[in-house]
Amino acid sequence: MDEMIPIFKKYLEIAEPYVGGKTLDEIKSRKKKIYKLSSNENPIGASPKAEQAVKKFSENLHIYPDRTDKRFRSALSTFYNGELSEDQFVATPSGSESIDLIVRAFAGEGTECIVSNPCFKPYTMFASWLGSKIVDVPLKEPDYSLDIKGILKAVNKRTRLLFLTSPNNPTGTYITKKEIKKLLKKLPKHVVVVLDEVYYHFANAKDYTTAMPFVNAGHQMIGVNSFSKTYGLAALRIGYCYSTPAIAGYIRQLCKPFLINKLSLEAGIAALSDTEFVQQIVDLIQTEREYLYKKLDKIGIPYWKTQGNFILIKPDISANEFEDFMLNEGVMVRPVANFGAPGCVRVTIGTREANKAFVKALKQLYK
C-alpha cells in the first residue's frame, strides 16, 4: 500500500518567524519627536529623480506594467557601464525577493545551505521553507570575521548555497577581496555563492569588493542588491541580483509575468541615474560614522566599526531594556538577538540631528 503523503510539510512549521522592527505608528504616543534609527532606512528620504518618476507615472494605474524586467535590466547594464550585460541581471520586488528566488532556484529537500550568524534572518527562513537543511558556521568572535576554514569544512555533496554578506547586517563587518578569492579557490563547483551587498555604497575600505569581478571571472556567484537603503525606496520594494548569464537566465525562469509594478519599475530606473543624491547620502553616512565613533569612544560603550549605514553596539543592560529606554528618549533602535547577536543592538546612522539625540540619550544612561 502506498504511503500517505502528509498534507502539511513539517519544515514549514517555523518556530521563530522573521519579526521586523517597530514602526513609527506603534510608538508615536511615547514622544512627539521620534528618531527612527532601527531599520537602516535612508535618513534624508528618497531619490528626487525616483520621486519625480512616481508622480509622472502615477496616472493610468489601470494599465498593466511591463510584462518582463527587460527595460530595468537594460538600465542596470548602463549603470554598470556595460561591465555586466543585460542578460546577467534579474529584477525583483526587493533584495529579499532576490534571495527568495535564488533559494527556490537552487535549494530544496535533501540540500544544505550554509549561513554565518549573526546574519540577515531571511537566508535561514527562506531555505527552511523549502526543506533545505541550514548549516550555521558562525562568524568568529570578537571581531565577527568570516570563518573560511569552518565553511570549507562544512561543505559536502549536499551543499548548494553559501550565503555571505558584505557589509554584513547586523555587524557592519565586511569580507575582503583576498578572503573571497581564497574561499572560491577551494569551493567545489556544485556550490553557488550568494553575496548580499545591499550596503555596498557605504563601504570605503580599500580591500572591499562586490561580487562583480568574481562574476565576470566566471565564478558561480550571485550579487544581491536593493533600492531600499541608498536610494531610499524601501516602500516601493525594488531590487535585483546579478550573476553569470547562465545562472541569471536560470533564475529568471522563476519570475512571474508583471513581477515588478509600474511605479517601482520607473522609480528604480530613474534612481539609477541619480548620482548626485547617491553621493550626498554616502558622504553623510561616512561623515556621521566618524562622528558616532568619537562619541561612542568617549562614552565607553562597546561597538564594532562598520562599513554599512548602521553600527552594532553592546550595552551593559539587556538589549530589550536598552531599546525601551531609548524609546522613552524618542530614539528607535533595534535589538538583534533574532539575527544571531544576543545582547547587541543595531543603530542606524542618521542625520546629525538624529545622531545627537541618540548620543544625548546614551549619556543619560551612562552618566
Is 199 in a helix, a strand, or coil? coil
Give start-end residues of each CATH 3.40.640.10 domain in the chain. Answer: 48-273
Write out the CATH class of domain 48-273: alpha beta
Dihedral sign (CA 79, 80, 86, 90): negative
pLDDT digits (tens, 9 = 90+) for 106-125: 999 999 999 999 999 999 99
pTM score of the predicted model = 0.93
Write out the CATH class of domain 20-46+276-365: alpha beta
H/E stretch holding 96 reads: helix 95-106
Which pLDDT belongs to residue 3? 74
HSE toward the beta carbon, residue 117, CA cutoff 13 A? 14
A 10 A CB-CB count for 121 gives 19
Which pLDDT belongs to residue 4? 72
Give start-end residues of each CATH 3.90.1150.10 domain in the chain. Answer: 20-46+276-365
pLDDT digits (tens, 9 = 90+) for 256-282: 999 999 999 999 999 999 999 999 999
Helices (H), 275-351: 275-299, 319-328
Instruction: With CA atoms as reference, report the closest residue to 265 among 103, 63, 85.
Output: 63
User: What is the rounded average pLDDT for all residues in the chain?
Assistant: 94
Instruction: With CA atoms as reference, report the closest residue to 345 among 300, 303, 298, 309.
Output: 303
Which pLDDT belongs to residue 17? 61
Which pLDDT belongs to residue 21? 61
The CA angle 22-26-30, to the nearest 5 degrees, is 110
Separation of alpha carbons 227 and 47, rounded Å: 10
Full DSSP string of 200-245: GGG---TTB--SHHHHHTT-SEEEEEESSSSS--GGG--EEEE--H
Cell (9 digits) for 204: 570605503
pLDDT digits (tens, 9 = 90+) for 123-134: 999 999 999 999
Which pLDDT belongs to residue 303? 98
pLDDT digits (tens, 9 = 90+) for 293-328: 999 999 999 999 999 999 999 999 999 999 999 999
pLDDT digits (tens, 9 = 90+) for 50-75: 999 999 999 989 999 999 999 999 99
Which pLDDT belongs to residue 200? 98
Residue 32 has pLDDT above 90, yes or no: no
The residue count of the chain comes to 367
